[in-house]
Amino acid sequence: MNRIDERFASLKAKGETALIPFLTIGDPDADTSVSIILRMEAAGADIIELGVPYSDPLADGPVIQRSSERALANKITILDCIGVARKCREAGSELPFILFTYYNPVLQLGLDRFFRLLGENEISGVIIPDLPIEENAPVRELSLRHGIHLIPLVAPTSNERIARIASEAAGFVYCVSSLGVTGTRSEFYGGINDFLAAVKQATDVPVAVGFGISTREQVEKFARLCDGAVVGSAIVRRIEEAMPLLRDSARREEGLEAIGTFVATLKVKA
């Protein structure tokens, strides 16, 4: 069974909601990303999104854009990001990993090679935000062949389109809580409750929500409405704030502890 399915089944049995942190791999460097992932796992993370840095991240707000710029300045590639999953496994991580990448790096790598590498490095799913459902057939076919979940993003739209996207979902449906790009928010899309209810009605796979979730109170709110909460910009900002510590070998542990402590505050247990 895919690790994502196993994790959601385990959490459902305990009555818990999945905490799904996102980080940009290579910010500040690949080895530190491994350390951050292990610290987030210890703090209660259930699934991790491995963000591939990209020069034109259409779905990402300024915090994640800055992290991509820093990682790209370090020459981090999609291959480096995939390799981080392997390093985490070698360090003892049991978490499901999802690669979050735009389509161009996948296309440049080649679809067959891409999915082979995901399998070899024990990555359980992939999110490609700029690949619409109308154009995803080759990617979806390979994802099914390799047992790697192609996780769709769905934003507030018509019930017909929600049903179409959700009908092909694997792993979970990633619901966009706010119109626009990623970033912390105090207000969400006004019809969010009805939107999430429509998605849940259209699929049997878990439903997670992201884009703008940044506090424990927001995680608790969405825990009552769905199966998982994705936290991205708020975590990437904590990494950005801890950068001076992470780059100082004498204070690196202090920086990792700050990130882990924040993630721990987000985990809602039964």
Annotated catalytic, 60?
yes
Please list, in sequence order, all residues whose beta carbon lies within 8 angstroms of the beta carbon of residue 29, skipping any fewer than 6 positions away.
74
How many other C-beta atoms can be found within 10 angstroms of the C-beta atom of residue 77?
A: 18
Is 5 a residue of the active site? no
Spot the catalytic one: 27, 60, 80, 240.
60
Query: Burial of 250 by CB count in 10 Å (0-12 exposed, 13-18 middle, 19+ buried)?
Result: exposed
pLDDT range class, residue 186, cuts 50, 70, 90: very low
Q: What is the mean pLDDT of residues 66-83?
A: 96
User: How far is Cα 208 from Cα 223, in angstroms, rounded to an integer?
Assistant: 9
> CA–CA separation, 134 vs 50, rounded Å?
25
Say yes or no to pLDDT of 15 above 70: yes
Instruction: List the catalytic residue out of 49, 80, 227, 240.
Output: 49
Per-residue pLDDT reduced to its tens digit, 24-41: 999 999 999 999 999 999
- The range of the structural domain enclosing residue 155 comes to 3-266
Q: How many domains does the chain have?
A: 1
232-269 residue pLDDT tens: 999 999 999 999 999 999 999 999 999 999 999 999 98
CATH number at residue 197: 3.20.20.70
Residue percentage of the chain with pLDDT more than 90: 85
The reported pLDDT for the residue numbered 27 is 97
Q: What is the largest CA-CA distance in the chain?
A: 55
- How far apart (Å, rounded) are the C-alpha atoms in residues 68 and 157? 29
